[in-house]
């Protein structure tokens, strides 16, 4: 009985939240492909959340099979003329189509229609994230604090640079800071990177240089990560903590800024891996997403939906990578086609997709290895 209780706890606590988050993100990604494809006159044969054997489904009046499949780690829209779920053109089938059928097939569509249909998936992910963030900002606002330092920790980068309580941040590397959170977000992804600060002290502007220290921190769930810190904190007295409220239009703008922050942080992390400033162990796969989903679920549905927004940006960005099999790879092929005036040959496309499959599988294995290493400590 205790074993069954443990299994149920695992399923309800981790797997169910993971499936909810992933299904939301995948559904909207594929919905972007589907809607724009329909708008472009391309006939969709199947809309699937998940891969493998079909569990449940139905046919709509347009002849599209909507279904949920057994392996819930992605999804696809299969258009007329696609050989498989990766949208590889079925040249033989297309050659046997009538003129009317070919006009409504994906390979038979004009270049801009194919490009728009492919790009619509990642764009839908970004729109979903912006919408989720906008709703939360519109309803709840955002807690902000002024840029005033309340305490400088001893032997920190800030102490070595001469910062003092009462100092007010103005700019970092020439970028204006608006809230104390802006300072934290700028500093955290830049451990070991020298930066120029302008601070205000007693009405005077002072320029200082410091380098954030790489620091391992631990969140409330015990997850560890390395970030840059300069060793300053604020408090309610100095920072004047308050909730900033937004109109619906302002909330959309804040949602876009929040989504862009995730994009910029992702590119910054990749850059730091390349130059050796950060380790690649923060790259996570399905196991880590499931773990974080379960952790967020303990905080309530609000936190879980916010995680869906973050994951939506990440999946949209991942799919824009110029790797065959991913949306970004297809867009690269279309750019080449626009330059050459003709699509690449079938043999070239086949080899490109094999290379892309190898790259995607390798990335998934590496991410899974990171996940397992994290779990076993």
Per residue in 286-299, pLDDT (tens digit) is: 777 777 777 777 77
Instruction: Read off the pLDDT band of 12 (50, 70, 90).
Output: low
Q: Evaluate the CA torsion angle 234, 239, 243, 245 in order and state its sign.
A: negative
Cα–Cα dist 315/320, whole Å: 9
9-18, 87-96, 276-285, range with the lowest pLDDT: 9-18
Q: For 258-283, b where at least 16 C-beta lie within 10 A, e where not — what string?
A: bbeebbeeeebbeebeeeebbeeeeb
Q: CA geometry: angle at 299 spanning 296 and 305, to 5°?
A: 55
Q: Evaluate the CA torsion angle 225, 228, 230, 233 in order and state its sign.
A: negative
Structure token digits, residue 319? 């799919």
Nearest to 293 by CA among 78, 73, 3, 16: 16
Say whether 30 is catalytic: yes
For 129-144, the pLDDT digits (tens) are 999 999 999 999 999 9
Instruction: Read off the pLDDT band of 13 (50, 70, 90).
Output: low
DSSP string, 261-322: HHHHHHHHHHHHHHHTSS-GGG---HHHHHHHHHHHHTT-HHHHHHHHHHHHHHHHHHHTSS
Instruction: Read off the pLDDT band of 2 (50, 70, 90).
Output: low
CB 166 within 8 A of CB 148: yes
Cα–Cα dist 304/295, whole Å: 9
Catalytic hit among 2, 30, 54, 350: 30
**How many CA atoms lie within 13 Å of 17's alpha carbon, on the beta-carbon side?**
28
pLDDT at 121 over 70: yes
- The reply to whether CATH 1.10.4030.10 applies to domain 142-244 is no
Per-domain residue ranges of the chain: 142-244
Q: How many residues does the chain have?
A: 377
End-to-end CA distance of the chain: 29
Residues in contact with 41: Cβ distance below 8 Å, sequence separation at least 6, in sequence order:
103, 104, 109, 113
Cα–Cα dist 253/246, whole Å: 10
Predicted pLDDT of residue 95: 75
Instruction: Read off the pLDDT band of 272 (50, 70, 90).
Output: confident
> Dihedrals φ, ψ of 155, to 5°?
60, 25
Q: What pairing do the DSSP bridges indicate for beta strands 213-218 and 204-210?
A: unpaired
Predicted pLDDT of residue 359: 83
Q: For residues 266 and 170, which has the higher predicted lDDT (pLDDT)?
A: 170
Residues in contact with 309: Cβ distance below 8 Å, sequence separation at least 6, in sequence order:
128, 129, 132, 133, 258, 259
Residues in contact with 316: Cβ distance below 8 Å, sequence separation at least 6, in sequence order:
29, 121, 122, 123, 124, 125, 126, 129
For residue 312, the Cα-to-chain-centroid distance in whole angstroms is 5
Q: What CA–CA distances, in Å, run from 103 to 2, 97, 108, 110, 170?
A: 60, 9, 5, 9, 58
DSSP type of residue 105: S
For 355-370, the pLDDT digits (tens) are 887 888 888 888 778 7
């Amino acid at each position: 009985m205790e074993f069954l209780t443990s299994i149920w706890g695992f399923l309800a606590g981790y797997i169910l939240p993971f499936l909810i988050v992933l299904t939301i993100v995948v559904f909207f990604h594929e919905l972007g492909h589907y809607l724009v494809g329909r708008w472009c006159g391309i006939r969709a044969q199947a809309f699937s959340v998940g891969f493998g054997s079909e569990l449940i489904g139905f046919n709509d009046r347009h002849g599209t099979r909507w279904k949920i499949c057994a392996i819930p780690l992605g999804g696809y829209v299969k258009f007329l003329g696609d050989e498989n779920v990766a949208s590889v053109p079925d040249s033989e089938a297309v050659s046997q189509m009538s003129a009317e059928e070919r006009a409504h097939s994906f390979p038979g569509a004009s270049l801009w229609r194919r490009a728009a249909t492919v790009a619509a998936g990642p764009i839908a992910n970004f729109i979903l994230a912006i919408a989720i963030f906008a709703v939360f900002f519109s309803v709840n606002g955002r807690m902000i604090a002024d840029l005033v330092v309340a305490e400088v920790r001893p032997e920190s980068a800030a102490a070595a640079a001469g910062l003092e309580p009462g100092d007010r941040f103005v700019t970092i590397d020439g970028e204006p800071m608006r809230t104390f959170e802006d300072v934290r977000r700028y500093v955290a992804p830049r451990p070991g990177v020298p930066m120029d600060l302008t601070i205000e002290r007693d009405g005077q502007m002072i320029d200082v240089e410091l380098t954030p220290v790489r620091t391992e921190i631990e969140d409330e769930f015990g997850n560890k990560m390395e970030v840059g810190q300069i060793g300053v904190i604020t408090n309610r007295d100095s920072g004047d903590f308050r909730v900033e409220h937004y109109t619906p239009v302002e909330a959309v703008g804040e949602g876009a800024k929040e989504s862009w922050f995730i994009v910029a942080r992702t590119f910054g992390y990749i850059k730091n891996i390349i130059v050796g400033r950060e380790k690649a162990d923060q790259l996570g796969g399905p196991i880590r997403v499931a773990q974080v989903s379960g952790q967020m679920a303990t905080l309530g549905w609000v936190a879980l939906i916010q995680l869906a927004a973050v994951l939506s940006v990440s999946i949209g960005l991942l799919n824009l990578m110029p790797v065959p099999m991913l949306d970004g790879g297809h867009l690269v092929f279309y750019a080449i086609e626009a330059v050459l005036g003709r699509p690449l040959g079938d043999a070239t496309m086949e080899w490109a997709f094999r290379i892309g499959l190898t790259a995607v599988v390798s990335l998934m294995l590496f991410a899974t290895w990171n996940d397992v290493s994290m779990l076993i400590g």
